[in-house]
Amino acid sequence: SAVISQKPSRDICQRGTSLTIQCQVDSQVTMMFWYRQQPGQSLTLIATANQGSEATYESGFVIDKFPISRPNLTFSTLTVSNMSPEDSSIYLCSVFQPVSGAGSYNEQFFGPGTRLTVL
């Protein structure tokens, strides 16, 4: 199984500032995924981060607001730019890992999340 760590675990930020969230995986993965979980809501995919190419963003999310870096196969960052209170959410990093003995099945693993509060 994949072990995923995120930094910071939580932060309180002022409106208009930016925060960069780090995601570290204990094994090499081709794609890393960033999700947002707004208060009381389910998970929404923000973007897919591929190593060596630009991230692919889902509808409603843009690179200027959520720039992503993917410098190597075990690490990615998500920046929340020019924050407003509406950006208060939990941000989760996720990867797929093949499960041994299960054929082509890849299980999705999630990091512990970064809880962001914007004042």
Partner 1 sequence: AQSVTQPDIHITVSEGASLELRCNYSYGATPYLFWYVQSPGQGLQLLLKYFSGDTLVQGIKGFEAEFKRSQSSFNLRKPSVHWSDAAEYFCAVGHNAGNMLTFGGGTRLMVKP
The residue ranges that bind partner 1 (CB under 8 A) are 4, 9, 33, 41-43, 45, 92, 96, 98, 102-113, 115
- The smaller minimum CB distance to partner 1, of residues 33 and 66, is found at 33
Find out whether 13 and 19 touch, Cβ atoms under 8 Å.
yes
Min dist. Cβ of residue 99 to partner 1 (A)? 9
Residue closest to 44 by CA, chosen among 2, 88, 90: 90
**Angle (nearest 5°) at CA 33 between 29 and 34:** 145
φ, ψ at 6 (rounded to 5°): -130, 145
- The smaller minimum CB distance to partner 1, of residues 41 and 82, is found at 41
Q: How far apart are alpha carbons 58 and 46 in whole angstroms?
A: 6
- The smaller minimum CB distance to partner 1, of residues 77 and 97, is found at 97
Min dist. Cβ of residue 82 to partner 1 (A)? 27
- The smaller minimum CB distance to partner 1, of residues 75 and 96, is found at 96
Min dist. Cβ of residue 34 to partner 1 (A)? 12
Min dist. Cβ of residue 43 to partner 1 (A)? 5
